[in-house]
Chain A
């Protein structure tokens, strides 16, 4: 039943990560047996409304998952799921805001690479202050008595007014964990070949990328610097490499295997073309083609693109670190399950 799958997925998110799979497997077996009994009793499958009612009476995902948490002392079991939820949200938002704000400030000031490295060094301190403030607030709430604590526990997302129909669809959050079908793998290779051919044709037929705008761009008094050629060929090489990887997986019968590692590797390789553009001599990516070129516009365009590339590199590096963390957690969970 799709609604049950969505419910279990939502419960899983809030379970202790090292025991998630085991607990969900047990919960699924029990709930499916219960569902079979209900349907046998009725002589028909549950209607959508009956299924919603049944799942709703099981309890909200965060509350059900909370029962499996170990006892906490500083912050009690009633308040702890809310505290944990707020802490994760705050970490995520604070990190995003901090990194974007710092990178933009430094980019505007034209700071050095050391200054950018300083952003990463400032992260632990920022996390620590965040965690300390949130923990302190929740500890005070816990200490201020059960009456207040119970009221907090009624706030979203613990609100009893939740509905199973509001849960996200199955696989929306961890689609990469689902096995890949053969048809999808073949389609991926076929479309990958088409894209590769398109990529090779673009330098000869620019209208394939820009459409009618290609003629307008050609009429402008600006041209691309030489650095765009190694950038282009690095993109071609990376795409060719990924295509061969997919093809090898397909022919080797490994199209179903997890794709996290490949995703991470391709993400890391994407730093190469970005690095090539960043290393362009004098940060000049656009050049004047004729005397009609406006020198200030040209300088502004080069500076703007350079800053945008710096931000893109920072974002890609963050994504690489994030994916590496996810893979490490996944690998540890597998070892624990084994």
Chain B
């Protein structure tokens, strides 16, 4: 990988990082466990690696944006995540910010 490609990759990942959090919060307005969340995001065009998504869920939960519970489904114990009350508030504010950035970028381009 050349230096330019390396730089592009770093910037792309940086750009995606915040968007991923927003996408995950948006999708967790309804309850999901890790794998179905990943599928639901992929179906909407937001592909996320397992090794990125699953630790991200843990971090968001530790920050109080998500709640989780272990429950059995289809004879297997799964950890289900959902947006917490705090998460809903922060998500609403982040969406406002997202829309503002989108508008600005559209004006700049």
Cross-chain contact B33 with A63 (CB below 8 angstroms)? no
Count contacts on B: residues with CB < 8 A to the other chain: 17
Cross-chain contact A30 with B51 (CB below 8 angstroms)? no
Cross-chain contact B34 with A26 (CB below 8 angstroms)? yes
Bound form: Cα–Cα A32–B50 in Å? 12
Cross-chain contact B35 with A33 (CB below 8 angstroms)? yes
- Bitwise, B8-45 to A at CB < 8 A (1) or not (0) is 00000000000000000000000001111011000000
The distance from the CB of B13 to the nearest CB of chain A, in whole angstroms, is 12
CB-based nearest B residue for A19? B58
Cross-chain contact A64 with B79 (CB below 8 angstroms)? no
Q: Give residues of chain B (63-101) contacting chain A, Cβ–Cβ below 8 Å.
A: 76-79
Cross-chain contact A31 with B50 (CB below 8 angstroms)? yes
Chain B residues contacting A64 (CB-CB under 8 Å) are 50-51
Bound form: Cα–Cα A27–B79 in Å? 10
Verify if A191 is at the interface (C-beta below 8 Å from B): no
With A23-B58, A68-B58 already in contact, the answer to whether A29 and B33 are too (CB < 8 A) is yes
CB-based nearest A residue for B6? A150
The distance from the CB of B50 to the nearest CB of chain A, in whole angstroms, is 6
CB-based nearest A residue for B49? A59
Verify if B103 is at the interface (C-beta below 8 Å from A): no
Q: Which of B49, B54, B58 contacts A30 (CB 8 A)?
A: B54
Bound form: Cα–Cα A163–B49 in Å? 19
Cross-chain contact B50 with A30 (CB below 8 angstroms)? yes
Bound form: Cα–Cα A25–B58 in Å? 13
Residues of chain B at the chain A interface (Cβ within 8 Å): 33-36, 38-39, 49-52, 54-55, 58, 76-79
**4 A-B pairs with the lowest CB-CB distances in the bound complex, closest first:** A67-B55, A30-B34, A30-B35, A33-B35
Residues of chain A at the chain B interface (Cβ within 8 Å): 23, 25-27, 29-34, 37, 58-59, 63-64, 67-68
Question: Given A26-B34, A37-B35, list of 17 further CB < 8 A pairs?
Answer: A23-B58, A25-B77, A26-B78, A29-B35, A29-B78, A29-B79, A30-B33, A30-B38, A32-B76, A33-B33, A37-B39, A59-B50, A64-B50, A67-B51, A67-B54, A68-B55, A68-B58
